[in-house]
Amino acid sequence: MTATALEPIDESEFRAQGQFEDNRLSVYLWGNADHRGTTLFDTFLAAADRESVAAGVKEVVVDFRQLMFMNSACLKSLVTWLRRVQERPPERQYAIRFLQEPEAHWQVRSFSALIAFGRGVLTVE
Amino acid sequence: MTEAARQENEIASRVQASILPGEIDVEGLAIAAQMLPAEVVGGDYYDIIPVEDACWLAIGDVAGHGLAAGVIMLMIQSAVQSLVRLSPQASPRDLVCALNGALYENIRKRMRRDEHVTFCLARYTPDGGLVFAGAHENILICRENGTCDNIPPKGTWLGAMEDVREVTQETKIQLGPGDLMLMFSDGVIEADDGRGGRFGLDRLRELLVANRERSPQEVRNAILAALLRWTERPDDDVTLLIIRCHGVYWST
């Protein structure tokens, strides 16, 4: 597969970009994903999912280590994305791996809850 | 928003505000609480339900806010009241799992929406025992000697998966006379100062420790005052539930 990129989010407070390479989509997040970024993040994740299925990727890695904050509405977008993947037939699913910053309280708290219903799809490192 | 929609929102807001408990007397405890909705209708929730030989404490937050979150919040309030009154001796874990079943059915299957709920349910008994379950914010307990315990919940959010029994655990802690406990929603620690700075858990803990000698009402007011200095207008609902343990009555 040739490397391609997702349409990025490039706001002053919140940035996201995704790069396809081999059988993987790598997503990087920076800044503050608050109420101003919710709709953009929803759209970004929907595109990431759609294009991952189309490209037949096996894994999506999301790097949260430079993300300072994510509000509950953006976390809800992650829940929706996980659910969308889980509801597909296994042959059209892909694995999701979150890279977390262990010093970020909101990440530890939120991901420990998220991993319960991302079972079978989501891992957190 | 049309005038009719605005009026309906205001009615929903009044219903929501009136259904939260006012000042409640519970033997051995002094309690102060406050919920400030970010919009007309909020998604935060708390309740205090005294029963014979125990007092149930609940706090939760529906992801997002606005009318849909407010409706789900009212479902939670009614369901928790019913569950606790039906089974006042039940374990918090069992009731959290039952509540999740009702929320999953309503939110996912009937409403076909994707909200989830952070929620913690605690049962306090007069011997100072506190048992809680669910996944909400950490619970802060300022001990009489000035140390502050920061206790994370062990569980997952509600309404997003059909069965949470495997991932819902209870935590048991002991409160002593003079201990001060704080339960809060994410709107407190995530309040934005307009420059990307968050109020944060450390600042909240420092405030609790600095005000530990004061009454729960004074602690609440001090935290709210600091929060509103930090951010003129919080962009998420803010809930505080502050409990002072006055006495411990060992059962015979």
Distance separating alpha carbons of residues A76 and B114, to the nearest angstrom = 7
Half-sphere exposure in the Cβ direction for B163 (13 Å, CA): 2
- Among candidates B81, B14, B17, which has minimal Cα distance to B47? B81
Say yes or no for a CB contact (<8 Å) between A116 and B186.
no
pLDDT digits (tens, 9 = 90+) for B185-222: 999 998 988 887 889 999 999 999 999 999 999 999 99
Mean pLDDT over B74-84 rounds to 96
> What is the pLDDT, as a whole number, of residue A29?
96
> What is the pLDDT, as a whole number, of residue B32?
95
> What is the pLDDT, as a whole number, of residue B33?
94
Helix axes B201-210, B216-230, angle to 10 degrees: 140
| Averaged confidence pLDDT in chain B | 90
| Residue A113 at interface with chain B, using a CB cutoff of 8 Å | yes
Q: State which H helix or E strand residue B85 sits in.
A: helix B67-86
> What is the pLDDT, as a whole number, of residue A1?
46
> What is the pLDDT, as a whole number, of residue A71?
87
* Residue A39, C-beta contacts closer than 8 angstroms, at least 6 positions apart: none
| Residue A117 at interface with chain B, using a CB cutoff of 8 Å | yes
Residue B65's pLDDT band, with cuts at 50, 70 and 90, is low
| Residue A46 at interface with chain B, using a CB cutoff of 8 Å | no
- Whether residue B240 has pLDDT greater than 70: yes
> What is the pLDDT, as a whole number, of residue B25?
78
B32: number of Cβ within 10 Å: 17
- Whether residue B248 has pLDDT greater than 60: yes
**Does ipTM exceed 0.85?**
no
> What is the pLDDT, as a whole number, of residue B40?
67
- Domain of A45? 4-124
Say yes or no for a CB contact (<8 Å) between A13 and B236.
no
For A41-50, B62-71, B128-137, which range has the lowest pLDDT when averaged over its residues?
B62-71
How many Cβ pairs closer than 8 A exist between chain A and B? 61
- Whether residue B231 has pLDDT greater than 80: yes
What is the CATH architecture assignment of B25-245?
4-Layer Sandwich (3.60)
Which two three-digit tokens encode residue B247? 């006495």
Distance separating alpha carbons of residues A84 and A80, to the nearest angstrom = 6
Sites in chain A below the pLDDT cut of 50: 1-2
Q: State whether residue B43 is helix, strand or coil.
A: coil
- Domain borders along chain B are 25-245
- Whether residue B97 has pLDDT greater than 80: yes
CATH number at residue A72: 3.30.750.24
Which two three-digit tokens encode residue A67? 């993300």
Number of domains in chain A: 1
Which two three-digit tokens encode residue B37? 């909705």
* C-alpha B142, offset from chain centre: 17
> What is the pLDDT, as a whole number, of residue B63?
87
| Residue A105 at interface with chain B, using a CB cutoff of 8 Å | yes
Q: Please count the residues of chain B.
A: 252
Q: How far is B250 from chain A (nearest CA, A)?
A: 34
- Whether residue B251 has pLDDT greater than 60: no
* Residue B15, C-beta contacts closer than 8 angstroms, at least 6 positions apart: B74
